[in-house]
């Protein structure tokens, strides 16, 4: 009895396994031939899709975050690169502006009121001295370049001053606005001769020795004054300035007359030395 009871379950399991295998083979052949399980598979895939989506969601989220971080990093790099290029372009534009300004200055120098046959030499301004009302500049030409004391210095608009000290490689120029500088000038309209003296101001000259009685016929606002050639330190007929103020001084024998220099005295980078 015990041996019979032990073998019955094994036989039943073997039989059921054979039945399932045969049924599976039948269903596979039938599905392959008739395709009747297609609808069933379609619905089963629809039921399984949410599970597949949830399983793949962490992977897709990680991929999205990785791509987003990578794109953000690339975007930051691109922005930094564009900023650097912008700075470089701005520096380049500044250089172009500087070159443009230098070209304009050189054109003005070339258009300076030089006389035919006069010898000139261009010099670069190294320093500007503006202490205690003094008006002086230092240029990069000296004794080795043939510069001499009392030599006239001009720019593209008019007289700037004269050399007062000569070194081997540089020289000091006293501007016409320096309180110690006096320049013989002449009014172009009337021929009136006077002295243009610096008063220490940036853009002012005082015209000396003009009487109150001769104001109406001798000088007036807007008159051009030029070098007279007296004293033989400055060549004749170089523009010096324009009269901007004529004020009679009843208590004094001479009127107060001021002129505006034509030259750009303290903002030039290049000047001309005249022999």
Model pLDDT, residue 4? 47
Give the tens place of pLDDT for each residue, 108-128. 666 655 554 567 888 889 988
For 53, the 3-state DSSP assignment is helix
CATH topology for 182-268 is Thrombin, subunit H (2.40.10)
152 token code pair: 């006239």
Could you tell me the CA-to-CA distances from 1 to 34, 234, 253 in Å, in that order?
49, 149, 161
Model pLDDT, residue 6? 47
Contact 194, 185 (CB under 8 A): yes
Domain ranges of the chain: 121-175, 182-268
Residue ranges for the chain with pLDDT beneath 70: 1-13, 30-46, 48-49, 52-53, 84, 87-88, 90-118, 214-217
Say which CATH architecture domain 121-175 belongs to.
Beta Barrel (2.40)
- Helix ranges (DSSP H) in the chain: 2-34, 38-110, 215-218
180 token code pair: 């110690």
Contact 96, 246 (CB under 8 A): no
- pTM (2 d.p.): 0.61
Phi, psi dihedral angles at 178 (to 5 degrees): -65, 140
Model pLDDT, residue 120? 81
Q: 251: Cβ–Cβ under 8 A, 6 or more apart, which residues? A: none
Q: Which of 192, 173, 194, 172 is nearest to 183 (CA)?
A: 194
Let me know if the fold of 121-175 is the same as that of 182-268: yes
For 219, the 3-state DSSP assignment is coil
Give the tens place of pLDDT for each residue, 21-58. 887 777 777 666 655 566 666 666 667 667 766 777 77
């Amino acid at each position: 009895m015990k041996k019979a009871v032990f073998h019955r379950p094994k036989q039943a399991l073997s039989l059921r396994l054979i039945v399932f295998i045969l049924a599976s083979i039948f269903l596979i052949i039938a599905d392959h031939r008739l395709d009747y399980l297609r609808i069933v598979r379609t619905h089963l895939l629809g039921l399984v899709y949410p599970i597949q989506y949830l399983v793949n969601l962490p992977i897709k989220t990680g991929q999205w975050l990785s791509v987003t971080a990578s794109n953000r990093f690339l975007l930051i790099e691109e922005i930094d690169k564009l900023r650097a290029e912008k700075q470089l372009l701005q520096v380049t534009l500044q250089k172009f502006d500087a070159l443009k300004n230098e070209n304009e200055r050189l054109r003005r120098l070339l258009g300076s009121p030089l006389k035919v046959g006069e010898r000139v030499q261009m010099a670069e301004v190294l320093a500007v001295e503006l202490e205690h009302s003094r008006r002086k500049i230092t240029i990069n030409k000296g004794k080795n370049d043939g510069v001499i004391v009392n030599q006239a210095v001009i720019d593209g608009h008019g007289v700037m001053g004269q050399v007062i000290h000569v070194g081997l490689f540089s020289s000091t120029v006293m501007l016409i606005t320096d309180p110690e500088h006096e320049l013989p000038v002449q009014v172009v309209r009337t021929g009136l001769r006077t002295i243009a003296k610096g008063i220490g101001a940036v853009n002012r000259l005082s015209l000396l020795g003009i009487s109150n009685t001769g104001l109406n016929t001798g000088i007036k606002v807007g008159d051009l004054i030029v070098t007279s050639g007296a004293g033989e330190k400055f060549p004749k007929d170089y523009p010096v300035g324009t009269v901007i103020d004529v004020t009679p001084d009843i208590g004094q024998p001479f009127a107060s007359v001021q002129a505006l220099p034509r030259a750009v005295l303290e903002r030039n980078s290049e000047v001309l030395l005249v022999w």
